[in-house]
């Protein structure tokens, strides 16, 4: 199994949903529109991915890039990018920066996250290794997100607690010869 397949299988095991698309603004726009179901959506603007990829998506009227405090508190869907993803756990890594990625990914009930297939690394520990991601994993602050928020404190397992109850991952892939699917 290659890293992408492994990532998809483990992310699904962690109760995330996953879609893989071609790396262009049109495909990404289609995937995001399908996932946001035409509702109002908070978009933090990418920390690491090429902003060009989101150029069509941000022109949609439902997309809010500069939310008011109230919008930040109540809008239930959010889109961010992630600087890397982990194959063995199906996790995505969202930066905590000047940008609003982190609040958007924690205050909403549905978090849609976009990753580049080339940033999938084998195991969580590799985030902290200089051999991967050109040392980006050692960036200052970030969250490794594995599936939606959950608790077993009230008895049975419940998804959707203080964080999102749904996590949807969009992988953009160059579909080069290595990954013909």
Partner 1 sequence: MENINDYILHPRQVADKSSKETLQKAIKLALDVETDALRLNTQTFNTNRYRAVKRLDDYEELKNRARLIKEKSIKNLIPLISKVTKAIEARGGKVFYAKTKEDATAYIKKICLSREAKLVVKSKSITSEEIGLNSDLEKAGIEVAETDLAEFILQVSKEQPSHNVAPAIHRSRESISELFKRNFKTEKKLDTGEELTEFARDILRQKFLKADIGISGANFVAAKEGSILLVESEGNIRLTTQLPAVHIAIAGIEKIIPSKKDFGVFIELLAASGTGQPLTSYTNIIEPPLDLPVLNLNGRNDGKREFHLVLIDNGRMQMRDDEELKEALYCIRCSACMNSCSNFQTVGGHAFGGECYTGGIGGAWTVATTGSLEKARFAELCTGCSRCIPNCPVLIDIPRLNTTIKNRLIKADGGASLQKLFFGNFSKLGKYSSIVPTLTNFIVSLSISKLLMEKIVGLDKRRPIPRFANKTLKRQYKLYRKSNSIQISDVFKKGLVLFADVFTNYNNPQVGMATVRVFDKLGIPIKLSKIIEDGRAAQSQGLIESARQSAIKLAGYLEEIIDSGKEIIVAEPSVLALFRYDYKKLINNDYLFSKLEKHTYDPIEYLNKLLNHSELDLTGKIEIKKLNSDKIFYHAHCQLKTIGAGNTALEFFNKLGFIVEISNVECCGMAGSFGYKKGYYDISKNIGNELIKQIKKVATRDSKKVILASGTSCREQLRDELEETIYHPIEYLEKILK
| Tokens matching residue 53 | 């990829």
Residue selected from 58, 76, 160, 175 as contacting partner 1 according to rule CB under 8 A: 160
CB 166 within 8 A of CB 111: yes
Q: Which residues, 6+ apart, have CB-to-CB distance to 84 below 8 Å?
A: 92, 93, 115, 119, 120, 121, 127, 132, 133, 136, 137
Question: Residue 174 and residue 153: Cα distance in Å, rounded?
Answer: 42
CB of 167 to partner 1, least distance (A): 9
Does 1 bind partner 1 (CB under 8 A)? Our answer is no
Question: Residue 181 and residue 174: Cα distance in Å, rounded?
Answer: 11
Does 163 bind partner 1 (CB under 8 A)? Our answer is yes
Residue selected from 10, 77, 80, 119 as contacting partner 1 according to rule CB under 8 A: 10
Does 77 bind partner 1 (CB under 8 A)? Our answer is no
Per-position x/- string for 87-126, each x denoting binding to partner 1 as judged by CB under 8 A, each - no binding: -xxxx----xxx-x-xx--xx---------------xxxx
Part in contact with partner 1 (CB under 8 A); list of ranges 20-28, 31-39, 114-122, 145-153: 145-153
Q: Which residues, 6+ apart, have CB-to-CB distance to 6 below 8 Å?
A: 87, 88
Q: Which residues, 6+ apart, have CB-to-CB distance to 117 below 8 Å?
A: 4, 20, 171, 172, 173, 174, 179
Closer residue to partner 1 in complex, CB, 31/120: 120
Measured CA distances, 173 to 60, 100, 105 (Å): 23, 25, 22
Please work out the total of residues on this chain that contact partner 1, with binding judged by CB under 8 A. 50
Residue selected from 32, 36, 147, 170 as contacting partner 1 according to rule CB under 8 A: 147
| Tokens matching residue 58 | 């941000």
CB of 139 to partner 1, least distance (A): 9
CB of 118 to partner 1, least distance (A): 21
Enumerate binding residues for partner 1 (CB under 8 A). Answer: 10, 14, 69, 72-73, 86, 88-91, 96-98, 100, 102-103, 106-107, 123-129, 138, 140-158, 160-164
């Amino acid at each position: 199994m290659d890293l992408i397949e492994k990532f998809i299988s483990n992310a699904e095991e962690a109760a995330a949903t996953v879609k893989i698309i071609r790396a262009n603004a049109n495909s990404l726009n289609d995937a995001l529109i399908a996932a946001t179901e035409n509702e109002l959506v908070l978009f933090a603007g990418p920390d690491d991915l090429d902003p060009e990829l989101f150029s069509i998506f941000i022109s949609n009227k439902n997309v809010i890039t500069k939310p008011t405090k109230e919008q930040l508190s109540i809008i239930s869907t959010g889109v961010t990018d992630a600087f890397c993803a982990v194959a063995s756990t199906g996790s995505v890594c969202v930066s905590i920066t000047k940008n609003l990625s982190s609040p958007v990914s924690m205050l909403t009930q549905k978090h849609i996250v976009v990753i580049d297939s080339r940033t999938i690394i084998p195991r969580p520990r590799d985030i902290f290794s200089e051999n991967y991601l050109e040392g980006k994993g050692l960036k200052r602050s970030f969250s490794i997100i594995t599936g939606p928020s959950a608790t077993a404190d009230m008895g049975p397992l419940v998804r959707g607690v203080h964080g999102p109850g749904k996590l949807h991952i969009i992988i953009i892939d160059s579909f080069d010869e290595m990954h013909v699917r």
